[in-house]
Amino acid sequence: MIKAILSLFLLLNHTEAFVPAPIRSTGTTASTGINTELYSIEPAGGSPIDGFVDDIKMRIRIAQESNAKGLGTKQVIADVLAGEYDDGSIVEKINELKVSAPCVMFTWESSPSCKKAVEAFDTIGADVKIVRLDDPWAEGNPMRAQLGKMVGRTSVPFVFIKGEYVGGFDGGLEGNDDASGMVNMAFKGTLRSKLSEAGAMKA
């Protein structure tokens, strides 16, 4: 599983990793008159592979640690993509954002489920605050990984009403009627009423 996760990470984040480094000028040697600029390919900051290798080692460690904790494959992938981050500051940021409006939704703009959720909220006349996890990815990936740990599910969107997680668009937490997702709540007739009670319906 770890090998598959790393392959995914490489595909998403390091397609430029093996682009040749720019040639560094070193001048002309007095004895030969040869311009050594033509022969030097090492950049001033060192080998371009060094940082790449360190990054891979770090993500292998994260994958192993998450896997050892018994986390699901999706959470392990989210952790690997997130890399190293300050758990406390990310949790604090999420806790602030999820209560920053009556209804808050953490999304990816290109996600079909997120698009359907936005359309559904527009249809019923709900006023929703959108927090994008893909703009930029460097900030969104740690938030997604931490959201997964906080609510027990890594799929987007993450929908919060009055600060409480209610699931995603067409799914949520099994056995939890309060977090069964928008579609299930709509069928049960509880979505609109919950939004109304939270003050999230447009006037």
Domain spans in the chain, listed from the N-terminal domain onward: 2-82, 87-198
What percent of the chain is predicted at pLDDT more than 70?
Answer: 76
Write out pLDDT tens, residues 73-119: 999 999 999 999 999 999 999 999 999 999 999 999 999 999 999 99
For the entire predicted model, the pTM comes to: 0.77
Task: Give CA 83 to chain center in angstroms.
Answer: 10
Cα–Cα dist 106/114, whole Å = 9
Q: What is the pLDDT of residues 176-190, one digit of tens each?
A: 988 999 999 999 999
Over residues 126-137, mean pLDDT: 97
Stretch (H or E) spanning 22: none
Residue 170: count other Cβ atoms within 10 Å of its Cβ.
15
48, pLDDT greater than 80: no
Q: 138: part of which helix (H) or strand (E)?
A: helix 137-151
Using alpha carbons, select from 200, 201, 162, 153 the residue that is nearest to residue 181. 153
Backbone angles phi, psi at 164, to 5 degrees: -105, 135
Averaged confidence pLDDT in the chain = 84
Higher pLDDT: 132 or 37? It is: 132
Contact yes or no for 193/126 (Cβ under 8 A): no
pLDDT-based confidence at 37, cuts 50/70/90? very low
Q: In this predicted structure, what is the pLDDT of residue 10? A: 52
In CATH, the architecture of 87-198 is 3-Layer(aba) Sandwich (3.40)
Give dist(CA 138, CA 115) in Å, integer: 22
Residue-wise pLDDT tens digits, 134-156: 999 999 999 999 999 999 999 99
Burial class (CB in 10 A: 0-12, 13-18, 19+), 3: exposed
CA 30 to chain centre: 54
Judge whether residue 121 has pLDDT over 50. yes
